[in-house]
């Protein structure tokens, strides 16, 4: 899955780039503001640069809003992933769309590093700090605490529950 943002309203849009031939131009219409824009897929003969290889997601947050029944999948990349409510111009690079006022725009941070021995990604969670706190497996994280989280870990911010996945979740198409 590839994620891009509407150039007009900054709405995130996910699409499966493997369904289209490389080098093809695609036209999208933003579901939020109806702006139409074009994106050209990279031709197949262009090899990945080292930067692009590092830019592949190392994990995903499956965001399930308890009150609103809205599921979103947020990719997590090497380095700091600032998780929070999406607003235009947000500093959160792992933001999701919500109307939950108890989720801050920068609520928590998940740092992804590659374990030198196993070569697997390691996920470390901390509060940003936020107004309502960050819960890991139903326990409030203390101030300045950093917790290693694994596959299936349940993280709660505001009224929103997120599940950490190390394999890409299937879409609901």
Domain assignment of residue 171, yes or no: no
| Same domain for 103 and 134 | yes
Which residues, including other chains, have CB under 8 Å from residue 131's CB and lie 6 or more apart?
A: 102, 104
Predicted local confidence at residue 22, as pLDDT = 79
The pTM of this model reads 0.70
Which class for 134: exposed (0-12), middle (13-18), buried (19 or more C-beta within 10 A)? buried
Which pLDDT band holds residue 143 (cuts at 50, 70, 90)?
confident
143 touches 158 (CB < 8 A): no
Task: Supply the DSSP string of 42-108, one letter for each residue.
Answer: PPTTSPPPHHHHHTS-SEEEEEEETTT--EEEEEE-SEEEEEEE--TT-S-TEEE----TTS-TT-E
Could you give the number of structural domains in the chain?
Answer: 2
Domain ranges, residue 136: 52-165
**Digit-coded pLDDT (tens) for 82-104:** 999 988 878 889 999 888 889 99
Same domain flag for 12 and 40: yes
Task: List, for residues 21-77, the tens digit of each pLDDT value.
Answer: 877 888 989 888 998 888 887 765 554 444 554 578 999 999 987 655 667 899 999
Q: Which residue has the tokens 């590093």?
A: 113
Structural domain contains residue 133: yes
Q: Which residue has the tokens 């599921």?
A: 71
Is residue 170 a part of any domain in this protein? no
């Amino acid at each position: 899955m590839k994620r891009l943002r509407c150039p007009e309203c900054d709405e995130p849009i996910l699409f499966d780039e493997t369904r289209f031939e490389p080098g093809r131009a695609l036209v999208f219409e933003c579901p939020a503001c109806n702006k139409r824009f074009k994106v050209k897929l990279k031709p197949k003969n262009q090899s990945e640069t080292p930067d692009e290889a590092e830019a592949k997601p190392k994990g995903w947050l499956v965001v399930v809003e308890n009150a609103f029944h809205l599921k979103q999948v947020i990719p997590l990349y090497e380095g700091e992933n600032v998780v929070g409510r999406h607003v235009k111009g947000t500093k959160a690079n792992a933001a999701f769309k919500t109307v939950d006022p108890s989720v801050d725009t920068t609520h928590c941070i998940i740092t992804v590093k590659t374990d030198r021995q196993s070569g697997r990604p390691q996920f470390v969670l901390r509060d940003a700090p936020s107004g309502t706190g960050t819960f890991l497996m139903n326990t409030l994280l203390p101030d300045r605490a950093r917790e290693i989280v694994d596959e299936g870990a349940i993280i709660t911010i505001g009224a929103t529950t997120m599940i950490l996945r190390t394999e890409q979740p299937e879409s609901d198409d």
